[in-house]
Structure 1
Amino acid sequence: MIDPIGTVPVFLAVTSQYSQTIRRRIAIKASAVAALVLVFFVVVGEVLLSAMAIPLPAFQVAGGIVLFLFAMTMIFGEGKIEQERKMCEQSTEAAIFPLAIPSIASPGAILAAVMMTENSLYNVTEQFQTLLVILAVLLIAMIFMLLAGRIQTIIGKSGANLISRVMGIILGSVAVANVLEGIKIYFAI
């Protein structure tokens, strides 16, 4: 759900007017903010949903629908990269918006963080392992942002657009699976 490669063009667009030192700070800050958001949802996401009387299967179905709509825009629309570039034109704090949220800590990543740490399915050790994987992927995203200039010369704009559309197809499949699983769990209860 976290797309380190898809974040690179957004990072380049957001930071094009900054020096290398400021770019480095923005990459680190965006990664740290995304980590805080995802850790928050790992720790209290399920509790928050329970407090609001939202069953996890309902959250899974709603998240799946949102993810599916987002995936369709990645496939048929302008794509994630172009949409987030437009967002960054209106942003004054590039590290937080659109980099940390929604580029890195996307709605899909938040949903995955909650679903993959469900207390009734996963013990504390498994939840901790999931958290470590999330942090490792965030580290990879930060490294990609730090190497963004080099990556851009390798994949180019067309390559980034192609990757975004392929990721949209995969995300659409994940979204449908989430909806079907949520419906199955809801009616099994």
Structure 2
Amino acid sequence: MLDKILHDFLVIWATIDPIGTMALFAALTAKLSSAERRKTAFKTVAYAALVLIGAIVVGQFLLAAMGISLLSFQVSGGIILFLFGLQMVFSNPDPKGDVEPQHDIAIFPLAIPATASPGAILAVILITDNHIYSVQEQLITTFTMIVILLITLILLLLSERILKLIGPGGASILTRIMGMILAALSVEFIMEALGVAKWVANS
């Protein structure tokens, strides 16, 4: 049981990537007030938790019922993440240039697909496979995931210190760097999915 807990912790940590999420959060909330930033942090983790718990409970059934493979889901998530990464790289540094004033960044891209990434959703579905793991094991995996999300929340709340250190110019640079990293990460998602699909086709 301890081996599974450790395995699940490492897999979920790698796919949620709390440190990377913190850097993205710092970049996207640089223009918000401290109160708005804290509110966004709590909303981000809450939405991500709902998505990942939902994936554990019904994800496997839902994708199967719709005839969607996990690999197809990963490719589509990668494409969405790539487009957002490009938007961050070429975004207008002028705060008056926002095209979506009503857009809630806590939902997109912070909760999905940054925190509850395609890789994280895919991971929690696979490591709670109903055909392999008991209900008790699935509950332990869910608890492990919640612990990692709480760690992520703590890091998001600490991101304000990063913003104070780097200033507005540093925040603008950080936004573009994170955009390039997200674009590269999305390509990795797509290539990994296509690689697995090719391996399955040849086997």
1:146 aligns with 2:157: yes
TM-score (norm 1): 0.67
Give 5+ residue unaligned stretches, structure 2: 1-14
1:28 aligns with 2:37: no
Contact 2:79/2:186 (8 A) holds in 1: no
Q: Which amino acid aligns with 1:79?
A: M
Secondary structure of the structure 2 residue equivalent to 1:119? coil
State the match for 2:88 in structure 1. Answer: 79
Give 5+ residue unaligned stretches, structure 1: none
Q: Which amino acid aligns with 1:90?
A: Q
State the match for 1:47 in structure 2. Answer: 61
Shift of 1:121: 5.4
Contact 1:88/1:94 (8 A) holds in 2: no
1:118 aligns with 2:129: yes
Question: Residue by residue, what CA displacement relative to the aligned partner does 1:23-61 show, whole Å, maximum 9, x if unpaired?
Answer: 433322331122011111112100222333x2xxx5223
State the match for 1:60 in structure 2. Answer: 70
Q: Percent of aligned positions with the same letter in both sequences?
A: 29
Contact 1:41/1:114 (8 A) holds in 2: yes
Shift of 1:146: 1.4
Measured on the aligned residues, the alpha-carbon RMSD in Å equals 3.6
2:177 to 159, 162, 187: 162
CA distance in 2, matches of 1:80, 1:125: 44
CA distance in 1, matches of 2:91, 2:54: 28
CA distance in 1, matches of 2:182, 2:99: 20
Contact 1:87/1:98 (8 A) holds in 2: no
- Residues 81, 122 of structure 1: CA spacing in aligned structure 2 closer, same or farther, 3 A cutoff? farther
TM-score (norm 2): 0.64
Shift of 1:182: 3.9
- Residues 48, 67 of structure 1: CA spacing in aligned structure 2 closer, same or farther, 3 A cutoff? closer
Q: Which amino acid aligns with 2:101?
A: E
- Residues 133, 27 of structure 1: CA spacing in aligned structure 2 closer, same or farther, 3 A cutoff? same
CA distance in 2, matches of 1:66, 1:111: 12
- Residues 187, 60 of structure 1: CA spacing in aligned structure 2 closer, same or farther, 3 A cutoff? farther
CA distance in 1, matches of 2:105, 2:180: 24
CA distance in 1, matches of 2:89, 2:151: 19
